[in-house]
Structure 1
Amino acid sequence: MLIIGVTMQPCSFSHFQLYQGLNFFCSQRNNISSLSYSALANLTNLRWLIIDNNQLKSDKLELTSLQNQTQLRYFFANRNYLTSVPGGLPAGLKQLRLANNQISSISPGAFQNLQNLTLLLLQGNRLQTMTGDDVKGLVGLNLLDVSGNLFSAVPRHLPPSVQQLYLSNNSFSGLHEGSFEGFHNLKYLRLSHCGLLSEGIHPQAFNHSSLVELDLSYNQLTTIPTVPTTLQYLYLEANRIQEFNVTSFCREVGPLSYSRMKILRLDGNKMTYHQLPPDWVYCLRVLQRIYI
C-alpha cells in the first residue's frame, strides 16, 4: 500500500507527482483551489482522498476527476468553498464528508449511483431544501448529518434506511405528525438548538418504536413531549420545562407497561427534583440516571 500525506504546506496538485498504486492521498490546510482530471489521471487504486481545509471551489472541480476513481471509497472535502454537492461521484463510495462549505444545492443525480454510501456529512452549509430527487440512490445510507443549515422544516423524503439523523442548529417552526414518517430504522435523532416550542410539536411526532436516543436540548420547550416507551436516552437540558408529566413517558403503568428510559437529562430547566410526582418511579422503573 502506498500512502502520501501532506499537511500545513501551501501547495496545489500541480506540485505533486502522483504515482500509480497510490492508495491514500491526504492534503490538508493547503491552498488547493482546483481538482482536475489530469491530477488524478494516473491513479487506479486510490481509496482515500482527503483534501480538508483547502480552497476547493465547485467550478474548479472537474467531474471526471472523481468519476474515473472506481476504487475510491472515502472522499473528504470539509471546510472548503464548494457551493454544491458534486455529481459524477464513483459508485463505490462509502463515505462523503463535505461539512462546513457553502453548499446550497445538490447537483442533479449526484447520489443516483451511490448505493454503497453509508455516511453523508453536510453540516455547516446553506441547504434550505432536500427533495426526493436530491437523495435518490441513497438506499444504504446509515448516517445523515445536515446540522447547521437553513432548514425551516424537517426535509421530506429522506432515505428511509437512515438510522442516525442529525438536524441540530436549524430553525424549525414545529414538528408535525409525519415529520419523521417512513424512518422505520431511525435510532438516533438530534434536534438541539432548533428553537422548538412545545406547542409546535405534535404529540405523535416521535411515535417511532425504533428510536433509542433523542436530543432536544437547548430549545424552548416548556413541557416534556410525548416519547415512545422504548426510548432509552432523552436529552432535554437547557429548555424551559416547569413540570414533569408521567404520561409523556407512559400512557399506562403496569407489569409490562413501563418506560425503558435509562438516561434522562432535565438539568438547566425551571424545575427541581422535589417537583417530581410520586408515581414517576413506577413508570421509569429501569432508569439508571436522571439529571435535574
Structure 2
Amino acid sequence: MEIRSLLLILSVCGPTWATTLDMDYGGVPLWINRFLGEPSVLTLRDRMEPGWFRAVNRQSCPLECDCPIQWPTALYCEYRGLHQLPEGLPSRTQYLFLQGNALTGFNSRAFAYASNLRWLFLDRNQVLSERFDHMLSNHTRLVYLFMNHNNLTEVPAGLPSGLKQLRLAYNHIEKIPPGAFQNLQNLTLLLLQGNHLKAIGEADFKGLPFLNLLDLSHNLLDTFPKHLPPSVQQLYLTSNALTGMSEDSLQGFNGLHYLRLSHNQLKNEGLAYGAFNVTSLVELDLSYNQLTEIPVVPTTLQYFYLEVNHIREFNVSSFCRKMGPTSYSRIKILRLDGNKMTHHQLPPDWPFCLRVLYNIYI
C-alpha cells in the first residue's frame, strides 16, 4: 500500500494529533523488529503515570523523561518543552526520543555518555545546522537519525559512518556541503523532501554505494538531477519545477523500480523519446503535469499514473512498439482520468497490447 494511502486511512480512522506526528517520520514508516528488542515509537506521554515508571524501575532516569521497564534501553523525552538535552543520559541509552521539543542545538559533550545510541529522534525541534555539525561523528553504532521539521540550512557535517537511515525532510536546506555523505557507506534511505534545493552538483551524493530510497520531493529543482547514486531503487521528485528529461537522465539506474514525478511541469516537447527506457521500472508516476501525449515507456512497466494532464489521444505505440505472443505490455494499472479523452477514443487494438491490464481509469 502506498504511504499516501496509509496516511489517508489513518486520518479517516481519527488518530490523535500526537499519534499522527509519531506515524509521520518524514512520510516513510519505521518498521519495528521486536526480536531485536526495539521499542515502540508511539509516545508514552500521558499514557502512563511517570511515577509508576520510577516506582517499578530502579534504573537511573532523567527527571524530564520516562524510562519504561519493558524497554530498559529506551528514553522517552518527547513533547516536554525542552530547550536543552536532559542531563545525565544513562550509558545504557540506545533509543532516545526527543521529538516535539524546542531544542536548537547541543554542547560538545551532550551525547558523550550515550555512546551506544542506535536511534535518535529529533523531529519537530528547532535544531540549527551550526549547532549540530560533528556532534555525532564518534557514535558509530547510530543507525537511524531523525531530524525532520527542524531549522537546518545545510546537511550536517560529520555524520556517523554507521547510519542506515537519515531523515532530513522539511527543513530549510539549500545546499549539500562537499563530502557531506562521503563516509556513509551503509546509508540505504535518505529523505530530503520539503527543503530549498535548487540544483544537485556532481559531488553532492558521492559516497553512497547502497542508497536505496532517495526523496527529493517538494524542492526547487527545475532540471532533472543527473548526479545521483546509481544504486537508487526508489526515486521521488514530486512537486518540483521539472519541465523535461533527456535521453540519458536515467542512464546507469539499472535497478530503479519506482520513479515519482507528479506535480511538476513536464511537457512532451521536453521529454526525450527514450527518457524512461529503464527496463527495471515497476511504477512510474507522471500525474499532474502538462503532458499532451502518452510518453513511450518500457513494456516491463506495471503501474503507470498519468491522471490530470492534457492528453487527448491513446497511443498504443507508447506501450507496445510491436505486438505478438511475447511482445506485449505488462501494465496492470493505468490511470488516465482527469485528461481530455474518453473510453470511446480507445483504439480497437489496445487489448492486444495491454493484455494483462487489471484496471484502467479514463
TM-score when scaled to structure 1? 0.97
Q: Name the structure 2 match of 1:49.
A: 120
The one-letter amino acid of 1:47's match is: R
Q: How big is the shift at 1:236?
A: 0.4
Q: Name the structure 1 match of 2:39.
A: none
Provide the C-alpha distance between the structure 2 equivalents of 1:218 and 1:134, rounded to a whole number of angstroms.
29
Aligned ranges for residues 111-126 of structure 1 at < 5 Å?
111-126=181-196
Q: Name the structure 2 match of 1:29.
A: 100
Provide the C-alpha distance between the structure 2 equivalents of 1:7 and 1:272, rounded to a whole number of angstroms.
52
Q: Deviations over 1:131-177 (max 9, x none)?
A: 23111110000000001111111111200000000011110121111
Q: Does 1:17 align with 2:58?
A: no
Q: Name the structure 1 match of 2:300.
A: 230
Q: How big is the shift at 1:15?
A: 3.3
Provide the C-alpha distance between the structure 2 equivalents of 1:157 and 1:14, rounded to a whole number of angstroms.
38
Q: Name the structure 1 match of 2:272.
A: 202
Q: How big is the shift at 1:237?
A: 0.5
Percentage identity across paired residues of the two chains: 58
Aligned ranges for residues 197-276 of structure 1 at < 5 Å?
197-276=267-346
Q: How big is the shift at 1:117?
A: 0.1
Q: Does 1:188 align with 2:258?
A: yes
Find the residue that maps to 1:21 and give its secondary structure: coil
Q: Name the structure 2 match of 1:132.
A: 202
Q: State the structure with bigger RCO (CA 8 A, min sep 6), 1 or 2.
A: 1
Q: How big is the shift at 1:4?
A: 0.8
Q: Name the structure 2 match of 1:38.
A: 109
Find the residue that maps to 1:205 and give its secondary structure: coil
Check conservation: 2:85, 2:106, Cα contact below 8 A: no
Provide the C-alpha distance between the structure 1 equivalents of 2:163 and 2:311, rounded to a whole number of angstroms.
44
Q: Name the structure 1 match of 2:130.
A: 59
- Gaps spanning 5+ residues in structure 2: where? 1-71
Q: How big is the shift at 1:6?
A: 2.1
Find the residue that maps to 2:110 and give its secondary structure: helix
Provide the C-alpha distance between the structure 2 equivalents of 1:124 and 1:16, rounded to a whole number of angstroms.
32
Q: Name the structure 2 match of 1:141.
A: 211
Check conservation: 1:160, 1:183, Cα contact below 8 A: yes
Q: How big is the shift at 1:16?
A: 3.6
Provide the C-alpha distance between the structure 1 equivalents of 2:230 and 2:74, rounded to a whole number of angstroms.
36
Provide the C-alpha distance between the structure 2 equivalents of 1:229 and 1:244, rounded to a whole number of angstroms.
16
Provide the C-alpha distance between the structure 2 equivalents of 1:36 and 1:231, rounded to a whole number of angstroms.
51
Find the residue that maps to 2:360 and give its secondary structure: strand
What is the CA RMSD across the aligned residues, in angstroms? 1.0
Partner residue of 1:72 out of 142, 163, 186: 142
Q: Name the structure 1 match of 2:248.
A: 178
Deviating above 2 A after TM superposition, structure 1's stretches of 4 or more consecutive aligned residues are 12-17
Check conservation: 2:191, 2:214, Cα contact below 8 A: yes
- Gaps spanning 5+ residues in structure 1: where? none
Q: How big is the shift at 1:39?
A: 1.1
TM-score when scaled to structure 2? 0.79
